[in-house]
Amino acid sequence: MTFSDAWADVEVRHAATADRKFLSLFDDTGRADTFRCDTSDMRLDYSKTNIDAETRDALLALAEAADVAAHRDAMFSGQKINQTEGRAVLHTALRNLDGGPVLVDGTDVMPGVLDTLGRMGVFADEIRSSHITNVVNIGIGGSDLGPAMAVQALSPYHDGPAVHFVSNVDAADVSDTLRGLDPKTTLVIVASKTFTTVETMTNARTARAWMSEGGGDPGTQFAALSTSEDGTSQFGIPPERVFGFEDWVGGRYSLWGPIGLSLMIGIGRRGFMAFLRGGQAMDLHFQAAQGAENMPLMHALVGIWHNQFCGHATRAVLPYDQRLGQLPAYFQQLEMESNGKSVRMDGSDVPVHTGPVVWGAPGTNGQHAFYQLIHQGTRTIPCEFMIAAQGHEPDLEHHHHLLVANCLAQSEALMRGRSTDEARVLMREKGFEGAELDRQAAHRVFSGNRPSVTLAYPKLDPFVLGQIIALYEHRVFVEGVILGINSFDQWGVELGKELATALQPVVEGAQTADGKDGSTQALVDFVQRHRVP
């Protein structure tokens, strides 16, 4: 079947089912067992969506027509699928712990990967048993969001020095982080794939001055994570404290290698290896599981269904897990930097909308903030709930029961809603009558029929976190393949960077704003007139 025929078939399924209340699909009592994917210990339930067996078949046919399996194999085998940069995409090699060779341009990259992993382990052990009490990771984007998210997620396993993160060029970030730390017992890790990112280099120089002025020794208390040997040596970081990686690791996919060093120092080598093994387990599942059994594939197809066919422009990530508080931000970069594109691999325009807007916050907090719109707003927001069977606080199990009940209640409420008749009964019980009863009831109606998926896992440990991250990486990849775009470049961030570089001397007053648009000129003028002389 051609891709356009397969696409048209899914459109037909959408047109045929769009008005249906999908709660009725549960008349099939086996639905919950059928519309889900399991790995050895995780479950993705997508039964609370409007996808029925025919629609799923059509979506799977679409994946086949897009040749997802061939693209997947090309990625794992080191082909240069990042065509706009001429690079392989091999973050999977970083967790290919006992897998076979992975060839890039005919050379096996695995010896280098394992050697660097070994060096990271030795260094992490040294730091964990040294006088270092605090570690500050300076990086931004993929060199910050991954380790920051994972360090928070795995805090119950954290037994090393405290780990902090500085990312924003706003001096508030570096100042607030360094205040209270001892420059003599702090390790600074400069994390930057390119070692040119202005925010990171500015913060790194500020931290170096802070350390020197405070009696620390940047000569021994700085480490670097980068692909740029020139950059790190020019900064003065000796090679034994530089952990390198190759350009086939994209920034937002880099947590698995040296960029994960702060996590490794925090949770130790064993914990980090368990995290890698989780990622590897998902890789193996993604490569082996067939059709509807394949969790990343089905997660992607559900996403494509909601975004491209149902037209839902955003996607809420709602972990009922406080320690996954930074996961929505991490997924924002992963999904929006990967699939927020307008042209296909061949340079032609993508004829449909691409990546959805990804947002979210942990439950139950979000319930008391933005869930009002999710339940009763005019837009449908597909929700992605996450919940652990167990928490890490066995003495406080009643909290966890409440957390689980709230998570499950939300997806039930979104699907079931509350009819006008039900709302009227409620209001009558409260003593309302006549027109006032109708008016009050109208505000208590929930349309329902709002889709969600739920990812359930046993407990948020390093292995499970590794699986979750790899699941989403592959989900984003599959969505990119179906849309025909390159998920591994990020040209969209360049223009703003160039203009910021050009504006810096204007803001400083060394150049005039002549030639800029009127708004920019006026804002520069405002800032210059209001700054401290």
Cα gap 302→75, rounded to integer Å: 22
The span from the first CA to the last CA of the chain, in angstroms, equals 69
Query: How many other C-beta atoms can be found within 10 angstroms of the C-beta atom of residue 18?
Result: 11
The answer to whether residue 200 forms part of the interface with ligand F6P (CB under 6 A) is: yes
The answer to whether residue 143 forms part of the interface with ligand F6P (CB under 6 A) is: yes
* The one segment of 9-17, 111-119, 141-149, 237-245 that binds ligand F6P by CB under 6 A: 141-149
- Report in angstroms how near the CB of residue 202 gets to ligand F6P at its nearest: 12
What are the beta bridge partners of residue 383?
316, 452
Catalytic annotation present for 341: no
- Report in angstroms how near the CB of residue 500 gets to ligand F6P at its nearest: 11
For 163, the enclosing helix (H) or strand (E) is strand 162-166
* Site size for ligand F6P (CB under 6 A): 15
- Report in angstroms how near the CB of residue 472 gets to ligand F6P at its nearest: 16
What are the beta bridge partners of residue 359?
316
Catalytic annotation present for 497: yes
Q: Which is nearer to ligand F6P, 181 or 204 (CB)?
A: 204
- Report in angstroms how near the CB of residue 19 gets to ligand F6P at its nearest: 42
Which positions from 289 to 328 touch ligand F6P by CB under 6 A, shown as an x/- string? Answer: ----------------------------------------
Query: How many other C-beta atoms can be found within 10 angstroms of the C-beta atom of residue 136?
Result: 25
The answer to whether residue 87 forms part of the interface with ligand F6P (CB under 6 A) is: no
The per-residue b/e assignment along 160-190, b for 16 or more CB within 10 angstroms, e otherwise, is bbebbbbbebeeebbeebbeebebeebbbbb
Active-site pick, 337, 384, 473, 479: 337
The answer to whether residue 141 forms part of the interface with ligand F6P (CB under 6 A) is: yes
Cα 388 to the chain's mean position, in Å? Answer: 18
The answer to whether residue 147 forms part of the interface with ligand F6P (CB under 6 A) is: no
Is residue 360 within 8 A of residue 330, CB to CB? The reply is no
Which positions from 100 to 139 touch ligand F6P by CB under 6 A, shown as an x/- string? Answer: ---------------------------------------x
Cα 4 to the chain's mean position, in Å? Answer: 30
* The one segment of 168-176, 188-196, 380-388, 430-438 that binds ligand F6P by CB under 6 A: 188-196
- Report in angstroms how near the CB of residue 12 gets to ligand F6P at its nearest: 38
Catalytic annotation present for 85: no
Sequence-ordered strand ranges (E) for 310-451: 314-320, 357-360, 383-388
What are the beta bridge partners of residue 317?
360, 384
Residue 122 CB partners (closer than 8 Å, separation 6+) = none
Helix axes 462-483, 53-65, angle to 10 degrees: 70
Query: How many other C-beta atoms can be found within 10 angstroms of the C-beta atom of residue 422?
Result: 15
Instruction: Single out the residue of 17, 84, 185, 194 in contact with ligand F6P (rule: CB under 6 A).
Output: 194
Cα gap 258→373, rounded to integer Å: 40
Tokens of 201: 């280099």
* The one segment of 59-67, 191-199, 381-389, 394-402 that binds ligand F6P by CB under 6 A: 191-199
The answer to whether residue 193 forms part of the interface with ligand F6P (CB under 6 A) is: yes
Active-site pick, 131, 213, 240, 368: 368
Cα gap 103→86, rounded to integer Å: 15
* The one segment of 98-106, 192-200, 232-240, 433-441 that binds ligand F6P by CB under 6 A: 192-200
Query: How many other C-beta atoms can be found within 10 angstroms of the C-beta atom of residue 314?
Result: 15
Which positions from 239 to 258 touch ligand F6P by CB under 6 A, shown as an x/- string? Answer: ------------xx------
Q: Which is nearer to ligand F6P, 142 or 462 (CB)?
A: 142
Give the footprint of ligand F6P on this chain (CB under 6 A): 139-143, 192-194, 197, 200, 251-252, 337, 490, 493
- Indicate which residues carry an active-site annotation: 337, 368, 497
